[in-house]
């Protein structure tokens, strides 16, 4: 390989790595549809309501990731809580693919960069600015990575069918939420970003590399559009989060 000025630019087109998920995990026939979420409160609620059955658990040095079958659907669908941050999220997705999952919807919240986006308003990210590290190991360096257009269209068609208001937008994926400076926010706004989060660019890139279908749904959370940050109590919006998780299940099964 040719040495570049910065290691992040040393993209290797080799498809097979020394450690492949297929070496560690055995694909299961019953695994196909999976919703990846960040809503721990709703997962805990659904467990109490007996809507979830744990079928397998992925282990790491610091935390376990139970995979749950969701009760009450005609087809098998599973749900798992995601890591915060691109590296952990990408690793989890790799392991889920290794287990046999092929269709994914990711749902979570995001900071908004436009103050007129209300808490809970749904956003379909069509692309993500690659201000993180993971994506550069999966696809060639570029400013942004696109979401699978087929999956975007599926989400959009579902929202229109059920009269759900939404916007399609560019999201900004960053590794460092404590370094979202005013200057960077203005730069991202100028190139069309509407939201900021920490995982989309990485997950889009892994999905593209592994040739699986993955879409993303965000809801408007805290507000970074003004001089002062406004949390808007976005993490406590249980009804919004519960509804979005249910919607994500429906859409995932339609992929």
Q: Is the pLDDT of residue 232 over 80?
A: no
What are the angstrom distances between the C-alpha of 234 and each of 164, 176, 223, 239?
A: 19, 19, 9, 11
Q: At what angle do helices 238-253 and 149-161 cross, to 10 degrees?
A: 120
Q: How many CB atoms lie within 10 A of CB 20?
A: 12
User: In this structure, are strands 77-81 and 64-70 parallel, antiparallel, or unpaired?
Assistant: antiparallel
Contact 43, 107 (CB under 8 A): no
Contact 251, 216 (CB under 8 A): no
- Residue 233 — very low, low, confident or very high, per pLDDT cuts 50/70/90? confident
The arithmetic mean of pLDDT across residues 190-197, rounded, is 96
Nearest-angstrom CA–CA distance, 209 and 152:
18
Of the candidates 247, 251, 241, the one whose C-alpha atom is nearest the C-alpha of residue 33 is 251
Distance in angstroms (rounded) separating the CA atoms of residues 213 and 34: 11
The pTM of this model reads 0.96
- Phi, psi for residue 53 in degrees, rounded to 5: -130, 120
What domains, with CATH codes, occur in the chain? 27-253 (3.40.50.1580)
How confident is the model over 9-59, as pLDDT tens digits?
Answer: 999 999 999 999 999 999 999 999 999 999 999 999 999 999 999 999 999
Strand 33-37 and strand 77-81: pairing?
parallel
Averaged pLDDT for residues 61-71: 96
* φ/ψ of residue 122, rounded to 5: -90, 140
- pLDDT at position 94 is 98
Residue 52 φ then ψ, to 5°: -125, 145
Is the predicted pLDDT of residue 236 greater than 70, yes or no? no
CB 254 within 8 A of CB 41: no
Rounded Cα distance, 52 and 28, in Å: 19
């Amino acid at each position: 390989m040719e040495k570049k000025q910065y290691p992040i630019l040393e993209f290797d087109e080799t498809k097979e790595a020394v450690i492949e998920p297929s070496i560690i995990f055995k694909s299961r026939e019953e695994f196909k549809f999976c919703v990846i979420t960040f809503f721990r409160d709703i997962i805990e609620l659904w467990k109490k309501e007996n809507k979830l059955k744990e079928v397998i658990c992925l282990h790491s040095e610091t935390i376990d990731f139970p995979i749950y079958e969701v009760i009450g659907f005609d087809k098998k669908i599973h749900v798992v809580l995601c890591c915060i941050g691109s590296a952990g999220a990408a690793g989890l997705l790799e392991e889920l693919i290794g287990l046999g999952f092929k269709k994914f919807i990711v749902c979570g919240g995001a900071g908004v960069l436009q103050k007129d986006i209300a808490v809970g308003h749904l956003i379909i990210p069509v692309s993500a600015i690659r201000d993180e590290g993971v994506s550069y190991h999966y696809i060639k360096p570029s400013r942004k990575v696109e979401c699978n257009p087929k999956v975007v269209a599926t989400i959009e068609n579902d929202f229109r069918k059920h009269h759900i208001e939404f916007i399609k937008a560019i999201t900004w994926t960053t590794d460092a939420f404590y370094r979202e400076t005013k200057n960077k926010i203005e730069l991202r706004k100028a190139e069309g970003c509407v939201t900021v989060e920490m995982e989309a660019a990485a997950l889009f890139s892994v999905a593209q590399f592994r040739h699986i279908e993955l879409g993303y749904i965000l809801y408007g959370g805290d507000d970074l559009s003004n001089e002062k940050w406004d949390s808007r109590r976005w993490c406590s919006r249980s009804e919004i989060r519960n509804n979005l998780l249910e919607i994500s299940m429906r859409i995932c099964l339609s992929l």
